[in-house]
Chain A
Amino acid sequence: EAQVTQNPRYLITVTGKKLTVTCSQNMNHEYMSWYRQDPGLGLRQIYYSMNVEVTDKGDVPEGYKVSRKEKRNFPLILESPSPNQTSLYFCASSSASGLETQYFGPGTRLLVL
């Protein structure tokens, strides 16, 4: 089954404790992206990656890091989480052959205390 998986699905952590949210896709997609969703602000792009070792900033990259060492994986790293990073996070992937639609993961709900 074609899918994007994220782990963990739910996470409670404390300020300053480094964490990683993993994202994996099994569709051989070149393009992957991270979003956060907040009430009243909608879905905002954090980082995206066009292919292995190629990443770029979205609209809200501050406080986040990403890496793309393998085509299927695109982890999101919060080096020093803060309460304003409490949010619902989505990973997505798509083919880069054109304006393809993105396939979204189920979401990771993060609470930073």
Chain B
Amino acid sequence: SQELEQSPQSLIVQEGKNLTINCTSSKTLYGLYWYKQKYGEGLIFLMMLQKGGEEKSHEKITAKLDEKKQQSSLHITASQPSHAGIYLCGADIIPYKYIFGTGTRLKVLA
């Protein structure tokens, strides 16, 4: 069974719209990571969250980790075509042994 559940699996939004991607674990996480992947290419690091309740922002992307460190959300404000790709959450339940969600495919319509 997948230990990190991501939702939705895919998302199509109109340019300029806001969107949220969720990542949920049944276990407490040491760290939660968000990556972006262009189709068939390597992963690009976006953000890392470690503390319960932590929130980080970079440009138009904000990520939050809940107090229990079991759920994270990634929010994109005023989406652009450049935001299109696959968003993956990753986590280490024990140090250095990583698990990943199955990803959310985002398409932004111009």
Contact = CB atoms under 8 A, between A and B. Distances in A.
Interface of A: 4, 31, 33, 35, 40-45, 48, 50, 56, 58-59, 88, 90, 92, 96, 99, 101-107, 109
Contacts of B40: 88, 107, 109
Q: Is the interface of B mostly helix, strand, loop or mixed?
A: strand
B32 to A, nearest CB: 10
Interface of B: 2, 4, 30-31, 33, 35, 40-45, 48, 50, 88, 90, 92, 95-103
A45 B41 contact: no
A42 B45 contact: no
Contacts, number: 61
16 contacts: A42-B88, A42-B101, A42-B103, A43-B100, A44-B99, A48-B98, A50-B96, A88-B40, A92-B43, A99-B30, A99-B31, A99-B92, A102-B43, A102-B45, A104-B44, A107-B41
Contact of A102 (B30, B98, B101): B98
B68 to A, nearest CB: 18
Nearest to A6: B42
B99 A104 contact: no
Contacts of A59: 99
A46 B98 CA distance: 10
Nearest to B2: A42
Given A43-B88, A106-B41, A107-B42, A101 B98 contact: no
Nearest to B44: A104
Given A42-B88, A42-B103, A101-B33, A48 B97 contact: yes
